[in-house]
Chains A and B, each alone.
Chain A
Amino acid sequence: MDFDALISGLDRHTLDGITRGSIYALVALGYTMVYGVMKLINFAHSEVFMVGTWTVLGVYTVIGATAGMGLGTVIAATLLALLAAMLASAGTALAVERIAYRPLRKKGAPPLIFLITGIGCSMVLVETFGQVLRAIFGPPFGRVTVNIPSVLETRTVFTIPGLDLAVSNTRILIIVGAVVMMVALDTFVNKSRLGRGVRAVAQDPDTASLMGVNQERVIMLVFVLGGAMAGVAALLYTVQYDITKFDIGFIIGLKAFTAAVLGGIGNLRGALVGGLFLGIVEVYASAVWDSSWTNVYAFVVLVVILMFRPTGLLGESLGKARA
């Protein structure tokens, strides 16, 4: 145990934790919205994120973006990659819904079956990027870690005086980007007409359909929104870590789902709280003990929180949100 390491680097660790937590939170939105509306864990959501990271790589490769371009080009390339990742991830999420969930919903299958088809879809997606695309296109696909060009070079923007904490442009982008997306989504769900439909279906699907809410359309909307958020998360992840891999989604998805449960699954603001909380706890615990145990800390925190607050920190509330 090394509390000194934690205390001496508290500011740095906090910043690390918030960065990591923002990405968890964005991915967690996909889980939490689908859970809120359909009461099921979309197990393929982690792979929706994975597709997003590969799309970013694809866009950068196609337009030939590398480090050291002019500011205007960097912004254009990043925005293009962002848009492409959002579209690809949303499309993947929608496809998963179509293939794996819709036929089962028509048959009224028990929840366990949705989980299995979700796992099946997740495996197919993983293997597509690990094996199938390699057979067709060759490398960079395959079971190795692939580098993504760091188009946005990390630069220290300002130093917080007194703390001696250097804040880089990438971190600002990640944290601000994540928070802006989350606020936008929260506003959309709470204020817009479509968002009201989402809340109505989450609260009571039968009554909502009597009131003229098209349930199928709401479900599609939820998958598209969740997928798009995973796409944003994918871009931010590549900005911070510069890599992707065929199974990159697994651990991120696991953490994001943990974050969603921590905050209270089905609760949009809970995803933010849970994500940031998990990110910070992980970084702190890794500083105090050993970073090879990071995943263990995450799950232990989850179990402890659930023991005392069985519905997460903020409780379930997508359906109960006041209009």
Chain B
Amino acid sequence: MSQIAAAYRGLRIRDRWDSAPKPLHWLATLLVVAFAFYLPYLNILPFAYIRTDLTSSGSDWASVLFLVVVYMIVAVGLNVVIGLAGLLDLGYVGFYALGAYSIALFGSTESPVVQAMQSKFGLSEEWAVPFAACIPIAICMSLVAGVFLGAPTLRLRGDYLAIVTLGFGEIIRITARNLDDVTGGAKGIINVPTPPGPEIDGRAFFNTIDAERWYWLALSILILIIWLARRLENSRVGRAWLAIREDEDAAAVMGVAGFKFKLWAFAIGATLGGLAGLLFGSKQQYVEPNAFMVQLSFLFVAMVVIGGSGNIYGALLGAFLLTYLPERFREFVDWRPFAFGVALVLVMILRPQGLVPSRRRAREFEDRRHEAEEAAADV
């Protein structure tokens, strides 16, 4: 009994939170959201020490916050694929790249695609697809890519899927690099459009300097996505994903169409990845293939798994830690990947279920651990 009690100790705070009255939930959520929007201006000691621009070589605080939020969108999307549906996708960076490239290809006046359209339809040289129209294009492209990749490969088992998706990520990057006539090759594409807005102090509302506006935009999108993802998780589709993750054969026997729901998970994950990539490309106003190396995919997977696969808040925490910490301790920039590797191994060995595991996952994990211990005791 004491073992079980010890196992659930980590969950007790959450139980207490769950039994708290509803208005308290709302109030707390509101406070957290308000605080999140206020973050770029955070200047109260000692909290100000979390800012990344304190040291001389530090990076712009609002820009870091923006990147954190973009990666949080990625983590929420990948959590659907890995955490809920249990599909190991190592090529997620491919969707991220597709999102960034679709806004660059169709929205930038420097893009060969836009230039080809200009000459074909006799348009002026300032013409490009407007930002608002680029969003559905990016979503469509990543959605189609998700289905395109998923349809032939989702019948494969976990590890096969891992290598195929890894290959997909590489294919996207190599294509972007080599198709000089379409993507600008290694040079990339400049002049990626930003969302429209009024001019303030002679500068566009969304420019490269005032990063907090980008952060607020991304944060609003993130909050919307979290709300949608939570609805999805508790829907029939979400339950089907869990069933498939736990035991695909049993789920199939019970009438859950495995392939269909896996494809759904893949497509939804791809869309969110594309959306995050679009935000990233738009903020940078510059897209190049080197920004989408396979290592970034590993980082994404690590975010979800370190935070706690299957739990949306775990994924958010993982995204925050793995993006924020390296920026905060920039003076150790050369040692970052090394420390990252060590941290991955240590965290996973000490806490394989992740920092904030989903409750169901934690219980499953506890079961497995007992089984492993019993098996070890038997031998």
Given contacts A41-B162, A128-B338, A310-B160, contact A107 B369 (CB under 8 A): yes
A123 near B153 with CB under 8 A, answer no
Cβ of A100 < 8 Å from any Cβ of B? Answer: yes
Cβ–Cβ contact B178 & A293, under 8 A:
yes
Given A104-B352, A109-B352, A306-B160, CB of A299 within 8 Å of CB of B168: yes
Q: Is the CB of A117 within 8 A of B348?
A: yes
Prevailing SS type, chain A contact patch: helix
Over the window 154-186 of chain B, the binary record of Cβ atoms lying under 8 Å from chain A Cβ atoms (1 yes, 0 no) is 011111101110111011001101100000000
Instruction: Please give the distance in Å from B301's CB to the nearest CB on chain A.
Output: 7
Closest to A210 in B: B379
Residues in B with CB closer than 8 Å to A103 are: 349
B174 touches A292 (CB 8 A): yes
Chain A residues contacting B259 (CB-CB under 8 Å) are: none
Write out, one digit per residue, whether chain B residues 330-359 have a CB within 8 A of any chain A CB (1) or not (0): 000011011011111100110010000000
Q: Do A108 and B372 touch across chains, with their CB atoms under 8 A apart?
A: yes
Q: Is the pair A119, B338 in contact by a Cβ cutoff of 8 Å? A: no
Are the CB atoms of B345 and A100 closer together than 8 Å?
A: yes
A76 within 8 A of B: no
Binary flags per residue of A266-304, CB closer than 8 Å to B gives 1, else 0:
000000000000000000000000101101101110110
Give min CB distance, A140 to chain B, whole Å.
17
Interface size class of B (residues with CB under 8 A): 35 or more
| Alpha-carbon distance A111/B340, docked complex (angstroms) | 20
Report whether B174 and A296 are in contact in the complex, using a CB–CB cutoff of 8 Å. yes
In the complex the two chains form, what is the Cα distance from A108 to B158 in whole Å?
Answer: 18
* Contact yes or no, A99 B345, CB < 8 A: yes
Expressed in whole angstroms, the minimum distance between the Cβ of A211 and any Cβ of chain B is: 12
Known contacts A292-B178, A293-B178, A296-B170, A113 near B348 by CB under 8 Å: yes
Task: Tell whether, in the assembled complex, residue B365 and residue A117 are in contact, meaning their CB atoms are under 8 Å apart.
Answer: no
Cβ-based interface call for B286 (8 A): no
Q: Would you list which residues of chain A between 241 and 262 have a CB under 8 Å from chain B?
A: 250, 254, 257-258, 261
**Beta-carbon nearest neighbor of A294 in chain B:** B174
A121 and B345 within 8 A (CB): yes
Q: Is residue B302 within 8 Å, beta carbon to beta carbon, of the partner chain?
A: yes
A323 within 8 A of partner (CB): no
A99 to B350, CA, bound (A): 12
Q: Are A300 and B352 in contact (CB under 8 A)?
A: no
What's the Cα separation between A184 and B175 when bound, in Å?
40
A41 proximity list for chain B (CB < 8 A): 159, 162-163
Are A117 and B160 neighbours in the complex by a CB distance under 8 Å? no
Instruction: Give B169's nearest chain A residue, CB to CB.
Output: A299
In the complex where A123-B337, A123-B341, A296-B174 touch, is A306 in contact with B88 (Cβ < 8 A)? no
Assembly CA distance A131 to B339 (angstroms): 11
**In the complex, A18 has a CB within 8 A of chain B:** no
Q: A299's closest neighbor in chain B, by CB?
A: B167
Q: With A128-B338, A303-B153, A306-B160 as given contacts, are A106 and B301 in contact (CB-CB < 8 Å)?
A: no
CB neighbours of A57 from chain B (8 A): none
Report how far A111 CA is from B365 CA in the complex, Å.
12
In this complex, what residue of B is CB-closest to A316? B157
| Across the A-B interface, the 8 shortest Cβ-Cβ residue pairs | A108-B372, A299-B167, A120-B344, A123-B341, A124-B341, A127-B338, A120-B345, A109-B352
Residue contacts A-B, CB under 8 angstroms, 21 given: A108-B369, A108-B371, A108-B372, A109-B348, A116-B344, A117-B348, A119-B341, A123-B337, A123-B338, A123-B344, A128-B338, A254-B170, A258-B163, A292-B178, A296-B175, A299-B168, A303-B167, A307-B152, A307-B153, A310-B155, A310-B157
